[in-house]
Structure 1
């Protein structure tokens, strides 16, 4: 990305920090990771992809969260507890008979991004698992309480996990 394009993207994200990451990426023909990295520095921290398993094991202890998979054709949302997983046969497997289950190609995780920003008029906090191509594998959002505020216990865990595995963004 040219320095003028990067400066324009950073200015856009500073003015519109709640923009849908995948929409901005598609409109600008760039990877979603570049959009996340262009957010104001105080809103994002990025850790290495090999933290995938540690992050998922921690999230499995948070209780009810929302996991979102956003593709060009659909947005899938799961709200509930994420089960603990384990590595087997080349995948990180979420194995339970009901609810969320599946198999993640954890070795394709290139980074784990922690994002806190305004979205649709409310505070938002999520972990974006970014693949080696700069795409978003999926996001896990901090849950909300009965007043629709972020759950403070989860926000504390989110921030502690970010502190453990991610570096502050470079402005």
Structure 2
């Protein structure tokens, strides 16, 4: 991406921090990773993808939250507890017989983004697992309480995890 394009993307995201990341990426012909990095620096910090297993094991202790997979063909949402997992046969395997379960190609995770930003009139906090192609594998959103505010306990865990795995602000 040219520096003028990057500056333009940064300006756009500063004016529209709640824009749907995947839509901006498609419209501007950039990766979702580039869109996340273009958010104002106080809104995003990044850690290496090699911290995938640590992040997922921690998230498994947070209780009910929302996991989203957003593709060109649909948006899949799961609300509930993310199960613990373990690495085996080349995958990070979510160890639960019902509910959310499956096999994640954790070695394709290049970065883990911690994002706190406004979205649809409310504060939002999520972790985006970004693959080696710059796309988002999936996002894990901090849950909301009965008043639709972010759950304080999960937001604290979110921030602690970012610090623990060495997430740093994007320059």
| TM-score normalised according to structure 1 size | 0.99
**Counterpart mapping for 1:91-130 below 5 A:** 91-130=91-130
Q: Deviations over 1:88-144 (max 9, x none)?
A: 100000021110000000000000000000000000000000001110000000000
Question: Residue in 2 aligned with 1:135?
Answer: 135
What stretches of structure 1 of length at least 5 have no aligned partner? Answer: none
Off by >3 Å, runs of 4+ in structure 1: none
**Counterpart mapping for 1:60-75 below 5 A:** 60-75=60-75
Question: Residue in 1 aligned with 2:43?
Answer: 43
Question: Residue in 2 aligned with 1:167?
Answer: 168
Following superposition, the deviation at residue 71 of structure 1 comes to 0.2
- Aligned-pair RMSD on alpha carbons? 0.5
In structure 2, how many angstroms separate the alpha carbons of the residues matched to 1:45 and 1:131? 16
